[in-house]
Structure 1
Amino acid sequence: MTKQLILASSSRYRRELLDRLGLPYLAESPDIDESSLPGETPRETALRLSEMKARAIWEKHPGSVVIGSDQTANLLGEKLGKPHTRERAIEQLSRMQGNTVVFATALCVIDAEGNAKKLESLTTIRMRKLSRETIEAYVDREKPFDCAGSAKIEKLGIALMASVESDDPTSLIGLPLMKLTTLLAEAGIEVLPGILED
C-alpha cells in the first residue's frame, strides 16, 4: 500500500523544492508557536520546530509520512527571523553586510508508525560589504520579506553574497533534498530504487 506523504508547510519555496523529487504529496500548514525558547540556540530552535511542525500534521493524519522543516539564521549569535517589512529587511541586511551568517536548516520526517528522525544542514554565507543604496535597490526589486535573513540565494540575493559553503545546495532555499531522500527511503518512500546504497 502506498504511504501518504505530507509536507507540513505553507512555504511555496519548500513546495517547489519537493516538486523536484516527483513524488505525490499533500501540503498542509501546521499551526504552531514558532517562538524560540529562553536560552535556545538558533540551531536548537530549528530542530525543535521541524519536529513540532511534522508532529502537528502527523497527529491529524496518523499513518502518513510527514516532512517538517525549519530554518534559522545566526548572525554573531543572534537569531534573524523573517523581516516581513521593507524597513526590517533593510535593517537586517545592513547588519549582515560584511559579516558571516550561518543558516541552520532542520529536517524531520515522521514515518507511518509515528517515529521521528531529525537531521540538520548548515550553510555558511559570507556577505559582501554593501552600501545602503545597494541594499535598498535589492529589497525594492526582490521584496524578500518572507525569508530569514532577507536574501534569496535562488534569485538576485546571490549578488549580495561573497561565498557560500553548504553540504546541500538546496538547504538554504529551505528543504535539504539530499538528506530528505535518505530519510524518506528509511520511512519507506523511495525517490529512486536503492537510494540508500552507496
Structure 2
Amino acid sequence: MHAHSPTSTVAKALILASTSRYRKELLERLRLPFGCVAPEVDETPLPGEAPVQVATRLALAKALEVARRHPEAIVIGSDQVADLDGHSIGKPGTHVRAVEQLRAMRGRTVVFQTAVAVVCISSGFSSQALAQVQVRFRELSDAEIENYLHHEQPYDCAGSAKSEGLGIALLERIDSDDPTALIGLPLIRTAELLRQAGMNPLCHPPLP
C-alpha cells in the first residue's frame, strides 16, 4: 500500500477509529494506552466495488475521518469484508440473514479481507496493509447452523461466525499469516504500521 513517512515528531496519543469491542480487545494486547472514537463514515459499498476494495477504502476513510478531528494523534482504522466468490458478505444483523449466510458458505472457502490503516495528520504519516484469511467452512447441516446461532448469536460479525468462540467448530481450515485478522484487526500488520509511524509497542512503556 502507498505510504508517507512522518516528517515531524510523532504524537503520543493513539486512537482506534472504531467502537468494535473485538478490535478494542485485540489492540489491548499491544499494551499501549489508546482511546476509541467512532468514525463518521458511510460504510455502504460503492457500485461494482469488490470486497477487497471496500475493506481497504473504508479502513483508510475511518482513520482519516478521525485523524482530521484529532490531528496530533496516531489513528488506526480497520475494516473487514467477507468475500465469497467476489461478493461481499457483511454483518447479518438478524437471525434470518445469519442463517442465509451460513447456508451459502457451507462447504465453501470464504476470504476474509481485513484492512488496516494508520494515519497521523501532524506528522504526515499515512500507510495501509491488508490481511487475507482463507476460511474453509464445513458441510454444515441446518440443525448445526441453528444450534450455533442459538448459542453465539454472532449477528454483529461479518459472515456470521466468531472463530474465537464456538464458531471455530464451523470451520475445516483457516489459512492466514496474521492470526488475529479473522477477528477484525491484523495485529502483526498493525504493529508494523505503528513502528513506521514512530510508536513501537516493544519500545513503549507498557501498561501495567
Q: What band does the TM-score fall into relative to the shorter chain?
A: over 0.9
Contact 1:62 1:114 in 2 (8 A): no
Pairwise CA distance, 1:78: 1.2
Contact 1:63 1:114 in 2 (8 A): no
Q: Look up the equivalent residue of 2:58 and give its one-letter code.
A: L
1:89-100 → structure 2 map (5 Å cutoff) = 89-100=98-109
In structure 2, distance between residues paired with 1:46 and 1:76: 16
Pairwise CA distance, 1:31: 1.3
Q: Look up the equivalent residue of 2:95 and give its one-letter code.
A: R
Over residues 168-195 of structure 1, what are the superposed CA-to-partner deviations in whole Å (9 max), with x where a residue is unaligned?
110000010101111001111110139x
Aligned to 1:127: 137
Q: Look up the equivalent residue of 2:176 and give its one-letter code.
A: S
Out of 186, 193, 198, the position equivalent to 1:188 is: 198
Q: Look up the equivalent residue of 1:147 and give its one-letter code.
A: C
**SS of the residue aligned with 1:149?**
helix
Q: Are 1:29 and 2:38 an aligned pair? A: yes
**SS of the residue aligned with 1:157?**
helix
**SS of the residue aligned with 2:180?**
coil
Note the residue ranges of structure 2 that are not aligned, 5 or more in a row.
Answer: 1-8
Over residues 47-75 of structure 1, what are the superposed CA-to-partner deviations in whole Å (9 max), with x where a residue is unaligned?
00000000110011011100000000011
In structure 2, distance between residues paired with 1:88 and 1:69: 24
In structure 2, distance between residues paired with 1:167 and 1:43: 17
In structure 2, distance between residues paired with 1:45 and 1:76: 15
Contact 1:82 1:147 in 2 (8 A): yes
Aligned to 1:145: 155
Q: Are 1:174 and 2:184 an aligned pair? A: yes
Q: Which has the higher contact order (CA 8 A, sep 6+)?
A: 2
Over residues 2-54 of structure 1, what are the superposed CA-to-partner deviations in whole Å (9 max), with x where a residue is unaligned?
61000000000000000001000000110110011112110011000000000
Q: Are 1:87 and 2:93 an aligned pair? A: no
**SS of the residue aligned with 1:121?**
strand
**SS of the residue aligned with 2:123?**
coil
Pairwise CA distance, 1:77: 1.8
Cα-Cα RMSD: 1.3
TM-score, length-scaled by structure 2:
0.91
Pairwise CA distance, 1:85: 0.4
Over residues 132-169 of structure 1, what are the superposed CA-to-partner deviations in whole Å (9 max), with x where a residue is unaligned?
00000000100000010000000000000000000111
Q: Look up the equivalent residue of 2:174 and give its one-letter code.
A: V
Note the residue ranges of structure 1 that are not aligned, 5 or more in a row.
Answer: none
In structure 2, distance between residues paired with 1:123 and 1:129: 19
In structure 1, distance between residues paired with 2:31 and 2:171: 31
Aligned to 1:10: 19
Aligned to 2:3: none
In structure 1, distance between residues paired with 2:128 and 2:169: 32
Pairwise CA distance, 1:115: 2.7
Identity, % of aligned positions: 51
